[in-house]
Amino acid sequence: MATIDIDAPGTSQLFIGNEAIARGALEAGIGFAASYPGTPSSEIMGSLAPIAKKMGIYAEWSINEKVAMEAAAGASFAGIRALASMKQNGVNVVSDFLANLVIAGIGKGGLVLISCDDPSAISSSNEQDTRPIAKWLDIPLVEPGTFQEAKDMTKWLFDLAEKTGTLCMLRSVTRIAHARGNVKLGELPKKEQKAYFDQIHDLRNVMPTTFMPVPSALRHAFLHLKLDKAQEKFESSPFNYYVGPDKADLLIITCGSCWLYSQDAVKALKLEDKVGILKLGTLWPLPEKFVEKHLNKSRKILFVEEIDPFLERSVMEMVANLPADSPRPTFYGKRSKHINAYGELNPDLVIKAIASITSITYQPRDVEYGKKAEEFSKSSVPERSMTFCAGCPHRATFWAIKNALKLDGRDGIVTGDIGCYSLALGPAGFFQVRTMHCMGAGAGIANGLGKLGQFGFNQPVLAVCGDSTFFHATIPALINGIYNQSNFILVILDNNATAMTGFQPHPGTGMTAMGEPTKVVSMEALCRSLGARVEICDPFDLESTTATLLEMMAEGGGAKVAIMRRECELVRGKKEKPPYKVHVDPDKCIGEACGCDRLCTRVFLCPGLVWDKKVGKSKIDEVICTGCGVCTDICPQGAIIKEAA
């Protein structure tokens, strides 16, 4: 199967949207790409990094999104086309830099920001639309409606960035980023690139005059001229088009993956002759003349878009400015509650909206069949809840935390962060984690809780974060805790990978995105240099980990660090055989008579441990068990036995 560097112009390949974006960047001749992993954006860098060396470009996983964007801007200033990609939360992290960058302008090399939003927050802590950020910060914005457009738009955006001298943004969503479709390839450029920061001429965008600094307000006015230029280009963009009859009963205005859903819905309802679709690819600034030309297609307009009513408000704003005698259509969308203002859309939700507006009844399938399918499924489709993998070190860590907090007896609190360990909000981590916000927030919140002693606060505070999260955003919070003597323990769950997003390397791993060995940034050396007490635990040693945490809680004082060090089982399992062969001794396991209330299968919840209903005892599922042996230490009867494999 083809990788994104395949030199086969004109052929059609099956790419996910993220690969299409990366291919578009290659076809545009980028020289520099930087990113921080985050679902659903990770495969953009994930597909660029392995081929970067061969293609003569530079690609990196940066420590966080802000540094990624700043690094990419550096390349732009030296005349190299550069890309920064991230998920929606990343754009928040970068926003301060963006607000300044747009006022200053980019360098000679086109600079593009890719933001992948996650409607329904399938793999996110929050649901958020980044399109309003583009409007808020005056950034020209596009959104692909197909996989082909994901490639073509990305390529085109570098030209636009250079022609306007401003940063351009492409917003994608999960169902483009992570869905697969046909992409017809273009040529790959074969020219050599030279980087040079020309301090006189290349800064023409950074400052409109070359001889003296220009006041920010004037540069802001200049930015608006750049936006006008972008709008002019958008008016004739091939990424905006209308499909449908000249006079329609209903006009849908849509963008992104909703273009695909709208098309599916109109087809499913067989309304191709009655419902028109105006598909927009260039979203901000709105191509007003183009939109106005199509507004008279119908007196009813339905906006189909995910999360915020972005197009809905932009078009309403535009219509408010039309001459008083212009026709006023009736608008349907999020304001009228025909389209949800939260969550992902799909063809069925669009069908529902169209059916409701046009008073059509829609039957997706034979009614009797539907009843039968529902009847058969009622008690036959058990849930499949998410859990830590078999052999995951996090399960052991939270078991130790749970027991340490219980032994301490002061109702200790665990603040959480972003990663696999967020699952500890639920049964997988025994409901130990109480907060989850943005990257680094766990330690930040712990800083506040840890300073409440004067108000009688005596609860121990543990802040958990992963190794990649530690480097991304936790270090300032730790320094704050040491400086201001806040009483909390930062528990770093170091599994030596950015596991949740696909095992990307980070500064602690000794490996770069392009696969080169590099210096290892030691988190313990760093923390000790700050003056923190640092303890390193093996979470698989439940007894000693519990004792260490208990003792650290009792000590009190300023911020301390406990590092839980164990490699992610999914990484280890690919390299090595299981360390132990584990089994349950049926003579020792006394089942329900034990009084443990099935601690191993009901509470510990490792998928490798199953309850054998027939004999009323626990057993190991040998296909799933990874042989970590941790469960041998939780059984009160000592019935789970490990033997060296």
Write out the residues near other proteins by the rule CB under 8 A: 1, 12-14, 39-40, 118, 122-123, 146-148, 174-175, 178-182, 257, 260-261, 263-265, 268, 346-348, 351, 364-366, 369-370, 372-374, 376-377, 379-387, 389-390, 420, 427, 598, 601-602, 605, 607, 609-611, 621, 623
Residues 6+ apart with CB under 8 A from 612: 618, 619
Least distance (Å) between residue 388 CB and other proteins? 8
Least distance (Å) between residue 613 CB and other proteins? 9
In whole angstroms, give the CA distance from residue 643 to residue 645.
6
- Complex with other proteins: residue 384 or 519, whichever CB lies closer: 384
Q: Where are the beta strands (DSSP E) in 316-474?
A: 330-332, 413-415, 433-435, 461-466
- Which helix (H) or strand (E) is 525 found in, with range? helix 523-529
CB 181 within 8 A of CB 149: no
In whole angstroms, give the CA distance from residue 40 to residue 265.
25
Using N-to-C axis directions, what is the helix angle for 441-449 and 475-483, rounded to 10°?
20
- Complex with other proteins: residue 1 or 324, whichever CB lies closer: 1
Least distance (Å) between residue 413 CB and other proteins? 26
State the virtual CA torsion across 410, 416, 422, 425 in degrees, nearest 10: 40
Using N-to-C axis directions, what is the helix angle for 347-358 and 257-268, rounded to 10°?
50
Both ends of the chain: CA-CA distance in Å?
37
- Tell me which residue of 85, 164, 165 sits closest to 130, measured CA to CA: 85
What single DSSP character describes residue 488?
A: -
Least distance (Å) between residue 632 CB and other proteins? 18
In the chain, the largest separation of any two C-alpha atoms, in whole Å, equals 89
User: Taking the mean position of all CA atoms in its chain, how far away is CA 437?
Assistant: 13
Least distance (Å) between residue 384 CB and other proteins? 4
- Complex with other proteins: residue 248 or 609, whichever CB lies closer: 609
- Complex with other proteins: residue 510 or 586, whichever CB lies closer: 586
- Complex with other proteins: residue 32 or 259, whichever CB lies closer: 259
- Tell me which residue of 299, 297, 300, 303 sits closest to 245, measured CA to CA: 297
- Complex with other proteins: residue 270 or 384, whichever CB lies closer: 384
Helix or strand or coil: residue 177?
helix
- Complex with other proteins: residue 360 or 520, whichever CB lies closer: 360
- Tell me which residue of 572, 530, 537, 570 sits closest to 552, measured CA to CA: 537
In whole angstroms, give the CA distance from residue 420 to residue 412.
22
Least distance (Å) between residue 257 CB and other proteins? 7
Least distance (Å) between residue 605 CB and other proteins? 5
- Complex with other proteins: residue 2 or 316, whichever CB lies closer: 2
Least distance (Å) between residue 544 CB and other proteins? 28
Least distance (Å) between residue 217 CB and other proteins? 43
- Complex with other proteins: residue 379 or 454, whichever CB lies closer: 379
Least distance (Å) between residue 170 CB and other proteins? 19
- Complex with other proteins: residue 123 or 459, whichever CB lies closer: 123
Helix or strand or coil: residue 396?
helix
- Complex with other proteins: residue 410 or 602, whichever CB lies closer: 602
In whole angstroms, give the CA distance from residue 278 to residue 304.
10
Q: Spell out the SS3 assignment of 346-378.
A: CHHHHHHHHHHHHCCCCCCCCHHHHHHHHHHHC
Helix or strand or coil: residue 609?
strand
Cα torsion angle, 484, 489, 495, 499, sign: negative
Using N-to-C axis directions, what is the helix angle for 42-55 and 17-27, rounded to 10°?
40
- Tell me which residue of 211, 219, 207, 269 sits closest to 244, measured CA to CA: 269
Pair of tokens at residue 460 = 């121990």
401, amino acid identity: I
Least distance (Å) between residue 116 CB and other proteins? 11
- Complex with other proteins: residue 160 or 177, whichever CB lies closer: 177
Least distance (Å) between residue 179 CB and other proteins? 4
- Tell me which residue of 591, 598, 595, 594 sits closest to 631, measured CA to CA: 598
- Complex with other proteins: residue 40 or 444, whichever CB lies closer: 40
Q: Which residue matches tokens 């307009």?
A: 301
Least distance (Å) between residue 252 CB and other proteins? 14
